[in-house]
């Protein structure tokens, strides 16, 4: 049984027996505690120290694993970026190659170089409205070129074939043919010339 410490009661030694009994009956006596469930402070401190040491080792190990994972993730990201860069360069080369092929084909069809380049870009970019607008330009230019060529080959009035440097009036030619080189002299020439100019 646990002993009660009477020094906690003020002037206990100077009291009479009845006062001591009365004081003991009024005193709060703590219940006896089973100390078998407790450990010494030194043992507790040692356990805490051991746990802290183990926690530190675990954290270091986790940090090493996390660092390794971070490094692996960074390596994967760098590899993915490298692949994306290569893919981008490949697509650019493919686009340029396709543009050149289309430009050459369009130039072969009669497109001028500038219009061929613009049209090839429209084809590669999938810009249908630009493609049709350029086709319309090409057809208009082609129509004008054909008309000009036909006009150049069409004979002029009086059988003039439109030869370069042949600027003489057909009526004058006809008069010269009828009257020779002297046709420019005299009234007859003027009359004939007037007749053919009507």
Contact 116, 106 (CB under 8 A): yes
**b/e for 85-124, b at 16 or more Cβ within 10 A?**
eeeeeeeeeeeeeebeebbeebeeeebeeebbbbbbbbbe
**Triad 179, 185, 188: Cα angle to 5°:** 60
Q: What digits encode the pLDDT tens for the residues 55-97? A: 888 888 888 888 888 889 889 999 999 999 999 999 999 999 9
How high is the pLDDT of residue 178?
A: 67
pLDDT tens digits, 18-52: 887 787 777 777 676 677 777 788 888 899 999 99
Q: Are 119 and 135 in contact (CB under 8 A)?
A: yes
What the block records as the tokens of 65 is: 């694993």
What is the predicted pLDDT for the residue at 9? 75
H helix runs in the chain, sequence order? 17-26, 41-109, 113-125, 128-153, 170-179, 187-197
- The C-alpha angle 27, 31, 33, rounded to 5 degrees, equals 145
């Amino acid at each position: 049984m646990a002993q009660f410490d009477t020094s906690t009661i003020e002037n206990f030694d100077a009291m009479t027996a009845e006062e001591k009994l009365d004081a003991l009956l009024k005193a709060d006596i703590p219940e006896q505690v089973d100390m078998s469930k407790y450990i010494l402070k030194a043992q507790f401190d040692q356990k805490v120290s051991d746990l802290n040491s183990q926690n530190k080792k675990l954290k270091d190990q986790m940090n090493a694993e996390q660092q390794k994972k971070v490094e692996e993730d960074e390596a994967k990201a760098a590899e993915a970026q490298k692949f994306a860069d290569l893919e981008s360069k490949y697509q650019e080369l493919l686009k340029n190659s396709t543009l050149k092929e289309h430009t050459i084909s369009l130039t072969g069809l009669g497109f001028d170089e500038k219009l061929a380049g613009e049209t090839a870009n429209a084809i590669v970019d999938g810009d249908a409205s630009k493609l049709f607008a350029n086709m319309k330009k090409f057809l208009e230019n082609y129509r004008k070129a054909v008309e000009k060529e036909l006009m150049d080959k069409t004979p002029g009035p009086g059988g003039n074939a439109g030869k370069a440097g042949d600027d003489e009036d057909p009526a004058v030619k006809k008069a010269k043919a009828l009257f020779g080189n002297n046709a420019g002299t005299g009234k007859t020439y003027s009359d004939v010339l007037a007749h053919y100019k009507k």
